């Protein structure tokens, strides 16, 4: 009995000692010794991390380890598919803003003419509008930073002008030759994804969507509701040049066109189980005539939407074969403020068509394939536009559709061959057209007030006046004697559209361009 009592007294102390000894032994066994891992060890440091540590500790000169890490990650991304990317901290903010559909700033658009920042548009009811900024104002200084006297990049100017919501931007501006100070309180500035929404005729509406941001579905619904009030019965939905964005926004839009619980798209990957996205509610436009416009730059979410509507025979797809990006990316933050967008699955249309084209020959050949379409005639001839890779599907309306190479349109419309001309491409891509129209608008802004709508402007404004002034413009940098009649018409239309943009923003710009667009004309033929 006495022995048992002594054991009961010492038992808690013995257990405590064993526990502490076990913890110490486990810790010691897991420590590396002599450069080798001990028993039960878990070596979490990769070879890449070991190499970086050696460079940091032993290299002859000082090095930027963060930069080396970024380059190493980028090289790893290059060994994957073309759409898995590394985003350094300096690029991540802008990339996120682009998809968020807003940023924080003063609410102006600007351009640089003769090394001077010129305000070319003031967002209505935005911070700068409330502070009294006007088109034509020249920004000389922001707070203590001078913006004149040397060439600044667009990104540098954005860094000076943008800032946290609620902060102050004290602007020194030049207006009509006189300097004055304007203080602007920065705010959240929306970046619309719906460029234009208007009625082409009494029953046919048009919507132009430039990307799929967090706000795109809401903007789309506002546009649709406004058009329905104006008599919408048929719709031309323009996804030309739309590089994609958030897939869920495309799914929500498809839901407005498709009835029941129809499948819109599904995703699947080796490490990602099949996931279906279906319609969930009655749509705003399930029965009206629908035409979707696409081209070689329509990608990702644009292809998801176009593919679903084509598979279900809900819309006619018009234009040229789409880009062929059918990979799902998810963004993962890294410890230094950077991130990677990693491909985790593939998109498949309701019929099971993969949208993604092959990237097995490397990134360069993959990206150059779009240029190759120009040289092989695919953008000019319907026969060259057809890709038969053996992945053929038949829809319920007996249309033949293809998988694996983007979305093939039901109706092919070639690109205007005039845009192949290097001189015309250089003119449109350069700054002379914009510079000329900006100065023209400043001189004739009151004249533009006589037009009460873009359609009124399209009918009554004579672009000949713009052409006569442009051929005398010193900075035009083009041999006008080499311009043929077709090219002249295209330049005049572009000048007229750019001028409309100052009065009615992007909606005016597209309404003018669309007035003589063969793709739009083909869409109207199908509808009528």
| Residue whose C-alpha is closest to residue 53's, from 43, 41, 68, 42 | 68
Q: What is the pLDDT of residue 63?
A: 78
The per-residue pLDDT for 185 is 94
3-state helix, strand, coil in the chain (%, to 5): 40, 20, 35
Asked if 527 and 291 touch (Cβ cutoff 8 Å), the reply is yes
321 pLDDT more than 70: yes
Residue % of the chain over a pLDDT of 70: 89
User: Over pLDDT 90: what percentage of the chain?
Assistant: 52
398 vs 62, residue with greater confidence: 398
pTM of the full predicted structure?
Answer: 0.85
Q: Which of 111, 99, 103 is nearest to 186 (CA)?
A: 103
Question: Looking at 105-109, 110-114, 349-353, which range is the least confident one?
Answer: 110-114
Confidence at residue 52, expressed as pLDDT on a 0 to 100 scale: 78
Question: How far is Cα 493 from Cα 169, in angstroms, rounded to an integer?
Answer: 38
- For the segment 45-57, the average pLDDT, to the nearest whole number, is 79
Q: How far apart are CA 225 and CA 61, in angstroms?
A: 64
**Cβ–Cβ < 8 Å for 277, 266:** yes
Region of poorest pLDDT, from 210-214, 297-301, 327-331: 327-331
Q: Is the pLDDT of residue 426 over 80?
A: no
pLDDT at 37: 45
Mean pLDDT of 218-233: 98
The Cβ of residue 505 has, within 10 Å, a number of other Cβ atoms equal to: 18
Residue 116 pLDDT greater than 90, yes or no: no
β-bridge partners, 327: 346
Q: Which residue has the higher pLDDT, 442 or 477?
A: 442
User: Please, what is the average pLDDT of the chain?
Assistant: 86
SS3 191: coil
More confident residue, 278 or 39: 278
Which residues, at least 6 apart from 12, have a Cβ–Cβ distance to it below 8 Å? none
Residue 389: DSSP 8-state: S
75/70 Cα distance (integer angstroms): 9
The 3-state DSSP class for residue 83 equals coil
pLDDT band at 43 (very low <50, low <70, confident <90, very high): low
Q: Which range among 127-136, 175-184, 228-237, 426-435 shows the weakest confidence by mean pLDDT?
A: 426-435
Q: Rounded distance, CA 313 to CA 374, Å?
A: 29
Judge whether residue 343 has pLDDT over 70: yes
Mean pLDDT for the stretch of residues 197-214: 97
Q: Is the pLDDT of residue 448 over 90?
A: yes
Please check whether residue 161 is in contact with residue 119, taking contact to mean a CB–CB distance below 8 angstroms.
Answer: no
Over 90: is that where the pLDDT of 352 sits?
yes
Residues tagged active-site: 300, 325
| C-alpha to C-alpha distances, 275 to 105, 350, 404, nearest whole angstrom | 39, 12, 19
Number of Cβ within a 10 Å radius of residue 518: 11
Task: Categorise residue 35: left if φ over 0, alpha if ψ from -120 to 50, beta otherwise.
Answer: left
Can you give the pLDDT at residue 118?
A: 92
Q: Alpha-carbon distance 246 to 131, whole Å?
A: 34
For CA atoms 218, 220, 221, 225, give the dihedral sign.
positive
- With CA atoms as reference, report the closest residue to 117 among 163, 164, 149: 149
DSSP-assigned states of every residue in 108-142: EEEEEETTEEEEEEE-TTSHHHHHT--TT-EEEEE
The residue behind tokens 């109706």 is 411
Q: What is the pLDDT of residues 474-484, one digit of tens each?
A: 777 777 778 88
Is the predicted pLDDT of residue 99 greater than 80, yes or no?
Answer: no
pLDDT of 5 higher than 70: no
Write out pLDDT tens, residues 361-384.
888 888 888 888 888 888 888 776
Q: How confident is the model at residue 30 (pLDDT cuts 50, 70, 90)?
A: very low
pLDDT tier at 289 (50, 70, 90 boundaries)?
Answer: very high
Position 466 pLDDT exceeds 90: yes
Structure tokens at 174: 């030049």
Q: How far apart are CA 487 and CA 483, in angstroms?
A: 6
Both tokens of 144, joined, read 């203590």
- Sequence-distant (≥ 6) Cβ neighbours of residue 471 within 8 angstroms: 480
CA distance 316 to 310: 7
pLDDT at 35 over 70: no
- Asked if pLDDT for residue 34 goes beyond 60, the answer is no
């Amino acid at each position: 009995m006495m022995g048992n009592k002594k054991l009961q007294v010492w038992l808690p102390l013995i257990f405590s000692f064993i526990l502490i000894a076990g913890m110490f032994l486990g810790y010691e066994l897991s420590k590396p010794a002599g450069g080798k891992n001990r028993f039960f060890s878990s070596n979490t440091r990769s070879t890449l991390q070991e190499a970086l540590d050696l460079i940091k500790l032993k290299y002859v000169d000082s090095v930027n380890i963060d930069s080396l890490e970024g380059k190493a990650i980028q090289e790893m991304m290059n060994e994957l598919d073309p759409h898995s990317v590394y985003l350094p901290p300096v690029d991540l903010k802008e990339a996120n803003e682009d998809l968020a559909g807003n940023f924080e700033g003063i609410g102006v658009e600007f351009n640089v003419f003769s090394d001077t920042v010129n305000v070319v548009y003031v967002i209505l009811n935005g911070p700068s509008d409330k502070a009294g900024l006007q088109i034509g104002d020249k920004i000389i200084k922001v707070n203590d930073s001078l913006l004149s006297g040397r060439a600044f990049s667009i990104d540098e100017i954005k860094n000076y002008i943008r800032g946290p919501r609620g902060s102050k931007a004290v602007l020194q501006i030049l207006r009509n030759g006189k300097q004055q100070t304007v203080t602007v309180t920065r705010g959240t500035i929306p970046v619309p994804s719906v460029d234009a929404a208007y009625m082409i005729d009494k029953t046919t509406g048009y919507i132009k969507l430039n990307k799929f941001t967090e706000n795109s579905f809401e903007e789309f619904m506002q546009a649709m509701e406004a058009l329905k009030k104006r008599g919408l019965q048929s719709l031309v939905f323009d996804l030309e040049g739309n590089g994609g964005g958030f897939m869920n926004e495309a799914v929500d839009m498809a839901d407005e066109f498709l009835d029941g619980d129809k499948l819109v798209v599904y995703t699947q990957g080796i490490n990602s189980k099949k996931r279906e996205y279906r319609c969930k509610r009655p749509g705003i436009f399930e029965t009206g005539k629908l035409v979707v416009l696409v081209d070689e730059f329509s990608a990702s979410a644009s292809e998801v939407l176009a593919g679903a509507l084509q598979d279900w025979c809900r819309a006619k797809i018009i234009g040229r074969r789409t880009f062929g990006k059918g990979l799902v990316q998810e963004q993962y933050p890294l410890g230094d403020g950077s991130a990677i967008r990693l491909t985790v699955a593939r998109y498949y249309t309701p019929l099971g068509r993969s949208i993604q084209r092959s990237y097995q020959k490397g990134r360069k050949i993959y990206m150059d394939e779009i240029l190759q379409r120009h040289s092989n005639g695919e953008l000019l001839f319907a026969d060259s536009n057809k890709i038969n890779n053996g992945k053929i599907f038949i829809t319920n309306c007996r249309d033949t559709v293809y998988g694996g190479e983007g979305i093939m349109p039901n109706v092919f419309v070639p690109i205007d061959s005039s845009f192949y001309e290097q001189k015309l491409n250089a003119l449109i891509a350069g700054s002379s057209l914009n510079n000329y129209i900006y100065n023209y608008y400043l001189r004739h802004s009151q004249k533009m007030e006589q037009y009460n709508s873009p359609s009124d402007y399209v009918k009554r404004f004579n672009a000949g006046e713009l052409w006569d002034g442009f051929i005398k413009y010193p900075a035009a940098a083009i041999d006008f004697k080499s311009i043929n009649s077709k090219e002249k018409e295209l330049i005049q239309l572009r000048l007229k559209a750019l001028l409309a943009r100052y009065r009615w923003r992007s909606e005016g710009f597209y309404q003018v361009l669309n007035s003589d667009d063969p793709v739009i004309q083909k869409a109207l033929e199908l509808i009528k």
